[in-house]
A and B are shown apart, each in its own frame.
Chain A
Amino acid sequence: MKQDVQPLIVNVKRYTLVRNLVFGWLTVVLFAGFLLNFPKINILEHTARNLYFHVPMWFTMMAAAFVSGYHSLKVLQTGDPLRDIRALQAARIGTFFGILGLSTGIVWSRFTWYVGTDVWWNFDPRQIMVSIQLLIYGGYFVLRSAFDEPNRRAKISAVFNLFAMTALPFLLYVIPRQMESLHPGAEGNPAFSQITHPVMRLVFYPAIIGFIGLFWVLYTQRVRVAWLKYRVTQDSEM
């Protein structure tokens, strides 16, 4: 491979390898998720399989938030525009997985617990808190667009992004656990470890790894495009 004058920001060989691994891995997870049998659960029935798809969305969003917050911290330390681009793209993909988690949760609950009620949204504490978290990230994107001067934008939005990262564990985990909810681990509900059949972990943990890998692929892809755009137009927004 020809060596560039300016080094590439991403090791393309490693990216390609990880991308292929993730695609293969997720294909296996998808198959196993539908094929692996477990004891039938009342009310849930087959929808228990959504554990492999709905729950990893939130793990991925959390991982993305920490990646984003880490790069925001680096922005404050170094002022490097690449860090700013990384923080923004990680936040974007994290929000993307959050929206997927929210919409899959809506469909799951509608046809499992709210059958015959026509209820699509029941103000489950976790739903509300997650919506707030998504609004905080919406605020981050809007805040960025309010600045014309790139350095100011990078620094001020990095501070806001650190706040968003700090709020996330509380809004997604701590507060919903104190309230009555459809989710495991909430008030009066047994925790995940008590109600999940061990055989489901064979798919659940690989699914988390797979979706976090998918986050990495999508995020790296966008960082590459955004960095290219920055070098051509001096604009880090994307």
Chain B
Amino acid sequence: MKTSLAALFQDASQAILADSTTANTVSTAYDSLWSGADIPTQAPSALEQVMLSDEKIFVVLAVVLIIWTGIIILVLRTDRHLQRVERSVAENIPLGDDDL
């Protein structure tokens, strides 16, 4: 870890040098604060390799799938409550009594 830290500093200083030569540094919100983030501190894991491929489109897919999974879980939970209500209706209200 320590050796890579030294390498990181070297990389960072080179990056700053490169930045200062190419006119103004990037000025969008994220770049100015998080420019360090594009200097990898460790080799990309298998998960990262997948997520970063194709211009990070899989990150969007993951986000959409999280939302979709959440909706499924919520609907299933609502369904379970409905089943319980249906059961207690069947137990408590005699057949033919429509006046709930």
Residues of A within 8 A of B (CB): 5-6, 30, 33-34, 40-47, 49-50, 53-54, 57, 93, 96, 99-100, 103-104, 107-108, 111-118, 180, 182, 184, 188-190, 195, 214, 218, 221-222, 225-226, 228-229, 231-233, 238
Contact = CB atoms under 8 A, between A and B. Distances in A.
B28 A112 contact: no
Contacts of B57: 46, 49
Contact of B40 (A6, A57, A116): A116
A231 B86 CA distance: 12
A189 B60 contact: no
B64 A182 contact: no
Contacts of A108: 59, 63
Contacts of B70: 96, 99-100, 103
B5 interface: no
Interface of B: 26, 28-34, 37-45, 48, 51-52, 54-57, 59-60, 62-64, 66-67, 70-71, 74-75, 78, 81-82, 84-85, 88-89, 92-93, 99-100
Contacts, number: 134
Contact of A104 (B44, B67, B99): B67
B97 to A, nearest CB: 11
B59 A229 contact: no
B63 A104 contact: yes
A84 B56 CA distance: 44
A190 B30 CA distance: 9
B37 A115 contact: yes
A225 B82 contact: yes
A238 B81 contact: yes
Going nearest first, the 10 A-B pairs with the smallest beta carbon separation are A116-B40, A189-B29, A111-B51, A45-B55, A46-B57, A104-B63, A49-B60, A45-B56, A47-B59, A229-B85
A5 B44 CA distance: 65
Given A53-B60, A104-B67, A43 B78 contact: no
Nearest to B8: A116
Contacts of B81: 222, 225-226, 229, 238
Contacts of B29: 184, 189-190, 195
